Structure 1
């Protein structure tokens, strides 16, 4: 089979395609023929900034081709989605059944990687913000897959005002189409009227202006892999708070909640209340181009590799 790998850290140019043996399933595992692979910012950052090369895992969807011992609830031929911890950028990958779910009838593999993981992160961040109907919500990285779904959760949840923060004003029409009332651009002197809740998927230097955009008693939810620091005095003068959110903690510690959110998501997708956005689908051999799209912040929605 073909897979994408890297031997030293760097930008997209560090990625290369190679032939590798087909994987075998262990106990509780499934081998899946990948039909769609979601490209995420954490994986892009891992290739660029990681201390040493690590497996290219991530979100995948495809058809089951083999089952390990002890697997129940799945059959060869099922269309499934889940998280691969090794060789996610490959024609075949291994999923553990605990991190795997069925893709419902009528949905495609591309739908699954554009919706499930990104939507769960958006749902979880929105929940962590304790958003009440009538409050105002600002979403950073609003044109990303997670950000676009977070805008829709805020709109569906009855926010009085939904603000999209983006890197380029050219993305304004796109995020307005997903429910944003207002659009602000990073680097602007003001982000407009303060907001009650900020869902931040960027981190780093953006945390400063984000905190300053909070209204008194406001809440910022930090769910980015970008790190950064917050000025405690800025929180003090606003009586504001910051909450960290990580989807992996929900998956590990609250599997029933994780499963319920996932099913709710598919219901919203079927009824049109959640819409996925796919910027581009690319062949596996163009993984470097996919990473470049994410690094350049030019994508509008999900970037997907299709072996």
Structure 2
């Protein structure tokens, strides 16, 4: 089987395809023939900043071919999606049963990796803000896989005004299609009228203007791995709040809520209320190009690797 390997040989990171033996499922694990892999910013950052070699994990979707001892919720032939912590950029991968879920008949493997994990992060971040009907919402990284779903969820949730903050004006048409009423560009002196909620998927230097964009009493939900610092005084003068959100804690500590949000996303997708935009479907051999698309902020929606094994 093929899988993508990451190594650093005293220079830039290298992603290349190698032929290896297929893994075997252990207790509580599923062996999955992979059809699609969702490329995520945390994995891209890990490759850019790491020393390697180590497995490239992430979101994947495919068909169960074998189950390990103790697996009860899945059987060979089931279509599944889930988060892989070992080698996910591959023709065949191992998923733990607890991290897997069934793909409904109305969705493809590509739609599954574009919707589920990104949608869960968007859903959870929005919920963490405790939105009230009629409040206004601003989403940073609004053209990203998570951001474009967050725009749609805010609109469907009754937000009076949805603002998309993006890195370039060229993304304006896309985010408006995803539900944005207004568009702000990083570096602009003003992002428009203040908002009640900011969902921030960027972090770093963008935290300061994001806090500034909040109305008095507003809440910023930080769910990015980009770090950054907020000045306490900037919060104090406007009675503003910053809330940290991490999906892994929900998945680990509140599995029922995690499952309920996932089912809700599928229902909204089936009804046509939300869709998961896909920027590109690339073969495994072009994993480096997929990473570059995300690292350069040129993607409009999800970037997906496809294996061609289906």
Unmatched runs of 5 consecutive residues or more in structure 2: none
Distance (whole Å) between structure 1 residues aligned to residue 106 and residue 217 of structure 2? 43
- 1:14 aligned counterpart, secondary structure: strand
1:131 and 1:62 mapped to 2: Cα distance? Answer: 35
Query: By how many angstroms is 1:9 displaced?
Result: 8.2
Note the C-alpha offset of 1:12: 7.9
Judge conservation of contact 1:282–1:306 (CA < 8 Å) in 2: yes
SS at the partner of 1:162? strand
The answer to whether the Cα contact below 8 Å between 1:140 and 1:202 also exists between their aligned partners in 2 is yes
Distance 1:77 1:223, change over 3 A: same
Q: Deviations over 1:262-285 (max 9, x none)?
A: 111100000001111000100000
Partner of 1:216: 216
Tell me, yes or no, if the aligned pair for 2:27 and 2:69 is still in contact at 8 Å.
yes
Task: Tell me, yes or no, if the aligned pair for 1:12 and 1:288 is still in contact at 8 Å.
Answer: no
Matches of 1:9 and 1:98 in 2, distance apart? 36
Task: Determine if contact 1:151/1:178 at 8 Å carries over to the other structure.
Answer: yes
- 1:279 aligns to 2:279 (yes or no): yes
What is the CA-CA distance between 1:53 and the residue it aligns to? 3.8
Q: Aligned partners of 1:50 and 1:251: how far apart in 2?
A: 26
Flag the 1:81–1:172 CA change in 2: closer, same or farther, 3 A: same
Name the counterpart of 1:67: 67
| 3-state SS, counterpart of residue 190 of structure 1 | coil
Deviations 1:68-99 (A, max 9, x none): 01101211111100010010101110000010
8 Å Cα contact 1:82-1:99 kept in structure 2:
yes
SS at match of 2:7: coil
Q: Runs of 4 or more off by more than 6 Å in structure 1?
A: 9-12
Q: What TM-score do you get using the length of structure 2 for normalisation?
A: 0.97
Q: Where does the alignment leave 5 or more consecutive residues of structure 1 unmatched?
A: none
Aligned to 1:126: 126
Q: CA 1:220/1:11 → structure 2, altered by over 3 Å: closer, same or farther? A: farther
CA deviation after TM superposition for structure 1 residue 6, in Å:
1.1
Distance 1:286 1:206 in 2: 30
For residues 165 and 280 of structure 1, what CA distance do their matches in structure 2 show? 22
Contact 1:10–1:47 (8 Å) recurs in 2 = no
SS at match of 2:146: helix
1:22 aligns with 2:15: no
Alignment of 1:38-117 (within 5 A): 38-50=38-50, 52-117=52-117
Deviation digits for residues 95-143 of structure 1 (CA, Å, limit 9, x no counterpart):
0001000000121100100000000000000000111111100000000
Aligned to 1:174: 174
| 1:192 to 2:192 alignment | yes
1:107 is paired with a residue of what secondary structure? coil
Aligned to 1:289: 289
* Contact kept? 1:5, 1:55, Cα under 8 Å: yes
| Secondary structure, counterpart of 1:15 in structure 2 | strand
- What SS does the corresponding residue of 1:148 show, helix, strand or coil? helix
SS in 2 for 1:216: strand
Kept in 2: contact 1:138–1:199 (CA 8 A): yes
The TM-score with structure 1 as length reference comes to: 0.98
Cα RMSD between the aligned structures? Answer: 1.3
Q: Give 3-state SS (helix, strand or coil) of 2:165's partner.
A: strand
